[in-house]
A = this chain, B = another copy of it.
């Protein structure tokens, strides 16, 4: 802090933090902030805006909105869930992920506050990534973060939205990236991969995870698996014919929430989904497009927790 006072962006962020504090915590006007910091009003405005855009200020709504609580209770009841959090929807932008990101982050934060060691396993996807961005920086060296699936494509490049690394950085915990690619070429190669010690370790950690957070992928043309290049159009059509409606950490399942017995799933290198566990396996998902996938995952018991939006919760309960 003191030694790199000459790096402009650090000082600037500091000032942004100060401005953000004066604005949001102390309730100063931007004019007052400008005077106190010795800058112009416009600069103060920029600093406040920067504090927001750099995610230094985190706003949390500490009131269970009755309707969302009701929906959450209904979801827990209907689908036998351990956890169901419902965040308010903006009617005009019902698929905004900030809301569920904050709700999921609040839940994760509660687990991370434990002084005892917790194993947290994560999937991928922008919902999880957004969740991690909403998490405050904490010092949690006692916990372990592990990825449930690879982020390497076949050519060795990495997919974006890696939540695991980001979370581990943010909370200062040791982390285990998944040491295999997303897909093997065939079942034989997969078996060989999974025989490696590192893979066995990681898969074992995933099986023992105290909390698992995953995304849910739909199986239409906007499917994450397709967009990220893991699934060609012919392959997807084939999966459709086999009844695929969604996927969790690449495991493709049908409308009853059964993982489909097919060539694709035999190539999936991700950690197996825990079944019938009493430890939370929570999906963070929302949106019309994912509705059938979420519903199927709930019916089939692929997950025992859900963080979603008000609008999605309503449709799930229809």
Contact = CB atoms under 8 A, between A and B. Distances in A.
B73 A136 contact: no
A85 to B, nearest CB: 10
A128 B55 CA distance: 28
Taking each of A36, A37, A65, which has the highest tally of chain B beta carbons within 10 Å of its own beta carbon? A65
A17 interface: yes
A59 B24 contact: yes
Given A56-B63, A69-B18, A109 B38 contact: yes
B90 A17 contact: no
Closest 10 CB pairs of A and B: A17-B63, A17-B65, A56-B63, A21-B69, A26-B90, A24-B59, A2-B98, A38-B110, A62-B136, A21-B88
16 contacts: A1-B67, A2-B96, A2-B98, A2-B102, A16-B63, A17-B61, A17-B63, A17-B64, A18-B69, A21-B65, A22-B88, A25-B66, A28-B90, A56-B62, A57-B62, A58-B62
Contacts of A14: 63, 65-67
Interface string A8-41: 0011011011101110111010001000111000
A113 interface: yes
Nearest to A314: B1
A61 B99 contact: no
Given A2-B99, A90-B1, A102-B5, A59 B25 contact: yes
Contacts of A36: 90-92, 110
A60 B61 contact: no
A2 B137 contact: no
**What class of interface size applies to chain A in its complex with B?**
35 or more
A318 to B, nearest CB: 16
A195 interface: no
Interface string A86-122: 0110111100101100100010011001000000000
A7 to B, nearest CB: 9
A60 B63 contact: no
Given A2-B98, A25-B66, 19 more contacts: A2-B87, A2-B88, A3-B98, A10-B66, A14-B63, A16-B63, A20-B61, A22-B90, A24-B59, A24-B61, A25-B88, A26-B90, A26-B93, A26-B99, A28-B90, A38-B113, A56-B61, A57-B60, A58-B62
